[in-house]
Amino acid sequence: MKIGVVSLGCPKNLVDSETMLGLIHEEKYEITNDPSEAEIIIVNTCGFIESAKEESINTILQMAEYKKSGSCKYIIVTGCLSQRYAEELFSELPEADAIAGVEVYDEIGSIIKRVMNGERFIMLERSKPDVIYTSKETFLPRILTTPSYTAYLKIAEGCDNCCSYCAIPKIRGPYRSKPMEQVLKEAKALADNGVKELIVVAQDTTRYGEDLPGGKLLLADLLKELNKIESLKWIRVMYCYPNNFTDELIETFASLDKVCKYVDLPLQHASNRLLASMNRYDTREEVETLLAKLRKRIPGIVIRTTFIVGFPGETNADFEELKEFMEQQRFENAGVFAYSQEEGTVAGAMPNQIPDEIKQERYHELMALQAQISEEIHKDTEGQTLEVLVEGIEEDGSGLHYGRSYREAPDIDGLVFIENPGDIKPGCFVKVNILQGFTYESVGERI
């Protein structure tokens, strides 16, 4: 029996997909990357915002076509869309043989057996103890879909922040930290298998540990332990929230040699009125204080953030304040999202919803501003020497290799292109002198 897994959405969802692949392998099924030859196709969906929901539905329907043109006999739909809209998917997508929620991916083996026995069902609640978050001795197997030298390390599930625009707490449940012993055991296993860059993820990494016995924020302690893993080269931390970015954590980022001087800090807006309406915990002034501390204590730090435009009630003055904030702070990287009105959220029921055309205008204007800032910052790196993790070679015959420095996270940031690379292979680290900086990429020469 050949099984294929299609993973959509964020890196946290990707870890779930990799865990399912590991469990499928343990059940002695054959794994294939070619959906045309898969007899069972698992689509691990995203259901965060409208565009993600549309992509998930389209992917399910595309995979269902292999029931006609390929070898597919069964479609299993998992992930956030399944959790959020299980009944609707079950009734409106007869192509799906099983709808499984986010809490049961560790039971994928039994789900597969049930569909093979002819059952069509919804499964949202687990039938056995929550081994993922209570066991201190074991962790679930994974088959990495990332390059062998890079892996995501998910340290918690769920979220307690309850931002007014976000459905994640309803989909993924409350925040649950993995016990540190389990996280470290998984990290060491990944490192032993050749991983050089470990990317720490959760819905909110800075909240890690708060729900564990003792009630203490433990991300700084976790990073200190991860830093001791000898074969690791880089530890990159994503999804940091400003309200829990303590002075101790700043000092940890500054002092640990393997922790990348890179902070992913979703801020969402600069207007205090809108931040309060979003149910964010920080004011603009508090964020500015944190940013100043980070830049003072960690020279060369790269800060990535995200913003939402078109949130209900956003005025022209609010938007102008956000632009002024971006111009003032000059973030190295920033993602911009047009607000998506989501049912079941506080913001979804707010008055003064912004028309789509205005959202798009503001989105493009803010992206253009960030592109200008990013290009200026990249040009400032010309003449610097950066250590680059080699990822591949251009297929256009130019001989250029490419990779990332500490300044770039995979998939969301740019690349460093390497001239005169010599004999280098993906997964190795080389010193590169930056010759030219562009909007999102840089070109340099290997030293």
Q: Tell me the CATH number at 249.
A: 3.80.30.20
Which residues, other chains included, contact 28 with Cβ-Cβ below 8 Å and sequence gap of 6+?
none
Per-residue model confidence (pLDDT) at position 141: 83
Can you name the residues that pair with 150 across neighbouring β-strands?
Answer: 197
E-only strand ranges, 323-379: 333-338
Please tell me whether residues 271 and 197 are part of one structural domain.
yes
What is the C-alpha to C-alpha distance for residues 83 and 85, in angstroms, rounded to an integer?
6
pLDDT score at 49 = 85
Residues 87 and 227 in one domain: no
Pair (246, 205) in one structural domain: yes
Q: Which of 129, 145, 170 is the last residue of a domain?
A: 129
Contacts (Cβ under 8 Å, ≥6 apart) of 93 = 57, 60, 61, 64, 77
Domain of 392, CATH number, reads 2.40.50.140
pLDDT of residue 126: 66
Dist CA 345 CA 161 (whole Å): 13
- The pLDDT, as a whole number, for residue 128 is 53
**Domain match, 6 and 65 both:** yes
Tell me the residue ranges of DSSP E strands in 265-356. Answer: 302-309, 333-338
CA dist., res. 103 & res. 153, Å (int) = 18
Q: Are residues 75 and 139 in the same domain?
A: no
Residue 284: name the closest of 265, 270, 304 by CA: 270
Per-residue confidence in pLDDT tens, the chain, 447 aa:
999 999 999 999 999 999 999 999 999 999 999 999 999 999 999 988 889 999 999 999 999 999 999 899 999 999 999 999 999 999 999 999 999 999 898 899 999 999 999 999 999 986 554 444 433 345 678 999 999 999 999 999 999 999 999 999 999 999 999 999 999 999 999 999 999 999 999 999 999 999 999 999 999 999 999 999 999 999 999 999 999 999 999 999 999 999 999 999 999 999 999 999 999 999 999 999 999 999 999 999 999 999 999 999 999 999 999 999 999 999 999 999 999 999 999 999 999 999 999 999 999 999 999 999 999 999 999 999 999 999 999 888 788 999 999 999 999 999 999 998 888 999 999 999 999 999 999 999 999
Measured CA distances, 53 to 18, 83, 265, 431 (Å): 21, 12, 25, 42
Rounded-to-integer distance, Cα 128 and Cα 103, Å: 11
Domain boundary among 79, 110, 129: 129
Indicate if 138 and 86 belong to the same structural domain. Answer: no
Indicate the number of domains in the chain.
3
Same domain as 9, residue 46: yes
Domain end among 377, 399, 432: 377
Dist CA 273 CA 284 (whole Å)? 10
Same domain, 24 and 105: yes
Q: How many CB atoms lie within 10 A of CB 223?
A: 21
- pLDDT of 398 reads 80
Could you tell me if 254 and 301 are in contact, meaning their C-beta atoms sit under 8 angstroms apart?
no
Looking at residue 394, its pLDDT comes to 87
Let me know whether 209 and 305 are in one domain: yes
Q: Are 95 and 64 in contact (CB under 8 A)?
A: yes
Q: What's the CATH code of the domain at 96? A: 3.40.50.12160
Residues 115 and 171 in one domain: no
Containing domain of residue 57, as a range?
A: 2-129
Q: Are residues 223 and 370 in the same domain?
A: yes
Quickly list DSSP for 61-120: HHHHTHHHHSS--EEEEEEHHHHHSHHHHHHH-TT-SEEE-TT-GGGHHHHHHHHHTT--
Tokens of 7: 């993973």
Identity of residue 67: K
Q: DSSP letter string over 178-204?
A: PPHHHHHHHHHHHHHTT--EEEEE-S-
Q: Cβ neighbours of residue 98 under 8 Å, at least 6 residues apart?
A: 74, 75, 76, 77, 111, 114, 115, 119, 120, 121, 122, 123
Q: How many CB atoms lie within 10 A of CB 348?
A: 16
Q: Are residues 57 and 206 in the same domain?
A: no
